[in-house]
Amino acid sequence: MAKIIVVTSGKGGVGKTTTSASFATGLAKRGHKTVVIDFDVGLRNLDLIMGCERRVVYDFVNVIQGEASLVQALIKDKRVDTLNILPASQTRDKDALTQAGVERVLNELRETHDYIICDSPAGIETGAIMALYYADEAIVVTNPEVSSVRDSDRILGILQAKSKRALEGADPIKEHLLITRYDPTRVHHGEMLSIEDITDLLGISLIGVIPESQSVLQASNSGIPVVLDDKSDSGLAYQDVVARFLGEDRQMRFVEMEKKGFLKRLFGT
Amino acid sequence: MDTVRTDKVGKDNADTKDIIDSSSDDSAIEIKGSVFTLPVLKICTTEIQQVEKALKKHLAQSLSFFKNAPIVIDLERTKQLKPAMDFQALTGLLRAQQLVPVAVQKGSLEQHLEAEKAGLAILTGQASGKSKSQESEAAVASEQTTTLDEQDSTTQRGTASDEVTSNAPTKMVSQPIRSGQRIYARGGDLIVLAAVNAGAEVMADGNIHIYAPLRGRALAGVRGDQSARIFCHSMEAELIAIAGSYRVFEDRVPDEIRQKSVQICLRGEQLDIVPIH
């Protein structure tokens, strides 16, 4: 039975899609059959970050409305052959997602995949609720700033109240905290919240810290998930996240100011 | 059967266009069923003086809440008692205290007959055990009921304890309460074992205990209990309130109580925030 993981945050621009792309690619690279679904209907980005925007023929909404089959809509990744992408529609809005339709698509995907990654849109409206509704686990992406932490807190409340697991009284969704755009130097100068501040406020377990890095932007622009970049701090940090998710014990890297300087010299980023 | 029904007199029916035959007698009234939550007064003795004494003592504390309140008399504990209940005296006593007795429940057959003579309705349903009526019965006699209940362990000899013993148990929450969430302990206390985060709101009719940081809002005694208190392990609140008196911490909590264990109580109009050592 496939696991459904939602990547969510409440706030926009914190790195949900970057995380979805890298996390899904990381899982697939380790041999797990993985599909990543873009729930951001109307503002599709995942296909850009995955570098497959020109291969989109049918999308998630087409499948939900029965205009195309899942096989037609799924895009097979060119770099990792165990990875599929289900893009969102750019020309529709979030109301095109129906609960029954989403459930049908997820059930069909469950039969052929190990992991289903749902890339949630920002906000707490229909699209975001649909993305988290069927989730078994959640990765809550947070930037080290107060407004992002507050929105993550809100979305955690929604996970505990409005998800299928919550409504049916099943085991609660397993929540993981992922801090992105972390800059140890600015934390040191008191300009950003520290890891301790954030974990203390949100009270969920930390699955990783992704350092602020130019390589993320470069990777996004060139359509290559940053996790595939072995020379980037961020790429390595995402690899750690995938390893921790799969149960490996890995130390947090790139979270100390001095250490970062050392690694920077080492990796030359 | 067990729901409380009212006959609504439709005075303004004459103005209503969609009543076809406005001249007929039927249009003068309209009959509708409606469910109400009523306070239940549990009587534990048939000695009217004892009832009166306990009732006065109780109402002195919460007179405004019960003023002109329709009230249901629960007779369960007086079924076997001698002398028999004098309903004329009882209803007279209740009316003198500005209560409006409307019905009795759970009495013996004889009591019900006597009650009817005194102009009271009979609420049934409870006696039939697990019948379908249980739900609506619960609506009448559930958490909102205020009982004048004699606890076996109390030292009072009389009819009723002077405390409002609520049926609502303490509400316990062990999950963090997050931004946008709202928890209300109706009729009782609230205990929270995890953080109340910024943007979250906890409310209770009684006290609030938070064994973790309070970063959001906490409102105790929301139905006017001025003796309610708030306790928290780390004071970082946005707003605190007891029985309607509130304080907002616009910038941040003052240093002398910030992140300290505190209790908050109402002294006069003023909220007192005292560190607990």
Span A55-112, pLDDT tens digits: 999 999 999 999 999 999 999 999 999 999 999 998 888 888 999 999 999 999 999 9
For every one of its 269 residues, what pLDDT tens digit does chain A have, with 9 covering 90 and above? 899 999 999 999 999 999 999 999 999 999 999 999 999 999 999 999 999 998 999 999 999 999 999 999 999 999 999 999 999 998 888 888 999 999 999 999 999 999 999 999 999 999 999 999 999 999 999 999 999 999 999 999 999 999 999 999 999 999 999 999 999 999 999 999 999 999 999 999 999 999 999 999 999 999 999 999 999 999 999 999 999 999 999 999 999 875 545 556 666 55
Check CB contact of A166 with chain B, cutoff 8 Å.
no
Check CB contact of A31 with chain B, cutoff 8 Å.
no
* Arithmetic mean of pLDDT over chain B: 75
Check CB contact of B234 with chain A, cutoff 8 Å.
no
Domain coordinates in residue numbering, chain B? 3-138, 146-275
Look at residue B145 and tell me whether its pLDDT is greater than 70. no
Look at residue B21 and tell me whether its pLDDT is greater than 70. no
C-alpha B242/C-alpha B220 separation (Å) is 5
* Closest chain B residue to the Cα of A152, Cα to Cα: B179
* Closest chain A residue to the Cα of B199, Cα to Cα: A150
Cβ-Cβ contacts under 8 Å, B180 against chain A? 154, 157-158
Q: Cβ contact (<8 Å) for A153 and B179?
A: yes
Using DSSP, state whether A146 is helix, strand or coil.
helix
Q: Residue B70's pLDDT band (boundaries 50, 70, 90)? A: confident
Lowest mean pLDDT among A55-59, B121-125, B225-229: B121-125
Q: Cβ contact (<8 Å) for A153 and B197?
A: yes
pLDDT of residue A1: 80
Side-chain-side CA neighbours of B171 within 13 Å: the count stands at 19
- The pLDDT of B62-76, averaged and rounded, is 75
Strand partners, B190: B171, B208
pLDDT of residue B133: 37
CA distance, residue A15 to nearest chain B CA (Å): 21
Check CB contact of B178 with chain A, cutoff 8 Å.
yes
CA distance, residue B183 to nearest chain A CA (Å): 12
Interface test with A, best of B178, B215, B252, B259 (most A CBs within 10 A): B178
- The pLDDT of B219-227, averaged and rounded, is 93
pLDDT of residue B272: 94
Cβ-Cβ contacts under 8 Å, A156 against chain B? 176, 178
Helix (H) or strand (E) holding B210: strand B208-214
- The pLDDT of B17-37, averaged and rounded, is 60
* Closest chain A residue to the Cα of B182, Cα to Cα: A157
- The pLDDT of B66-70, averaged and rounded, is 75
Q: Residue B243's pLDDT band (boundaries 50, 70, 90)? A: very high
pLDDT of residue A264: 62
Q: Which of B180, B194, B195 is nearest residue A157 as measured by Cβ atoms?
A: B180
pLDDT of residue B62: 61
Tell which CATH architecture fits domain B3-138. 2-Layer Sandwich (3.30)
Check CB contact of B226 with chain A, cutoff 8 Å.
no
Cβ-Cβ contacts under 8 Å, A154 against chain B? 178-180, 199
pLDDT of residue B63: 55
Cβ-Cβ contacts under 8 Å, B198 against chain A? 150, 153
Q: Cβ contact (<8 Å) for A150 and B179?
A: yes
* DSSP state letters, A187-226: HHTTSS--HHHHHHHH-SEEEEEEEP-HHHHHHHHHT--G
- Provide the token pair at A203: 């009270």
- List the one residue out of A202, A248, A232, A262 whose CA is nearest residue A18: A232
Look at residue B113 and tell me whether its pLDDT is greater than 70. yes
Q: Cβ contact (<8 Å) for B178 and A160?
A: yes
Lowest mean pLDDT among A16-20, B49-53, B191-195: B49-53
Q: Cβ contact (<8 Å) for B198 and A153?
A: yes
Is the pLDDT higher at B10 or at B78? B78
pLDDT of residue A258: 57
Is the pLDDT higher at A53 or at B166? A53
Cβ-Cβ contacts under 8 Å, A160 against chain B? 175, 178
pTM for the model stands at 0.65
Interface test with A, best of B175, B197, B202, B252 (most A CBs within 10 A): B197
Whether the Cβ atoms of residue B215 and residue A153 lie closer than 8 Å to each other: no
In a 10 Å sphere around its CB, with 0-12 CB exposed, 13-18 middle and 19+ buried, how is residue A268 labelled? exposed
Q: Which of B176, B181, B199 is nearest residue A203 as measured by Cβ atoms?
A: B176
pLDDT of residue B64: 59
CATH of region B146-275, choose from 3.40.50.300, 2.160.20.70, 1.10.760.10, 1.10.238.10: 2.160.20.70
Lowest mean pLDDT among A37-41, B144-148, B218-222: B144-148
pLDDT of residue B65: 61
Q: Cβ contact (<8 Å) for A157 and B194?
A: no
CA distance, residue A152 to nearest chain B CA (Å): 9
pLDDT of residue B162: 36
Whether the Cβ atoms of residue B21 and residue B49 lie closer than 8 Å to each other: no
- The pLDDT of B58-74, averaged and rounded, is 73
Q: Cβ contact (<8 Å) for A154 and B199?
A: yes
Q: What single-letter amino acid sits at A165?
A: R
C-alpha B183/C-alpha B169 separation (Å) is 15
C-alpha A135/C-alpha B163 separation (Å) is 47
- Provide the token pair at B45: 């003795």
Check CB contact of A203 with chain B, cutoff 8 Å.
yes
CA distance, residue A181 to nearest chain B CA (Å): 23
Q: Residue B151's pLDDT band (boundaries 50, 70, 90)? A: very low
CA distance, residue B167 to nearest chain A CA (Å): 25
* Closest chain A residue to the Cα of B180, Cα to Cα: A154
Q: Which residues of A194-206 are buried (b: 16+ CB within 10 A; e: fewer)?
A: bbeebbebbbbeb
pLDDT of residue B128: 38
pLDDT of residue B92: 86
- Provide the token pair at B96: 């003198």
Check CB contact of A153 with chain B, cutoff 8 Å.
yes
Interface test with B, best of A124, A151, A153, A193 (most B CBs within 10 A): A153
- The pLDDT of B250-263, averaged and rounded, is 91
Look at residue B189 and tell me whether its pLDDT is greater than 80. yes
Q: Which of A153, A161, A203 is nearest residue B199 as measured by Cβ atoms?
A: A153
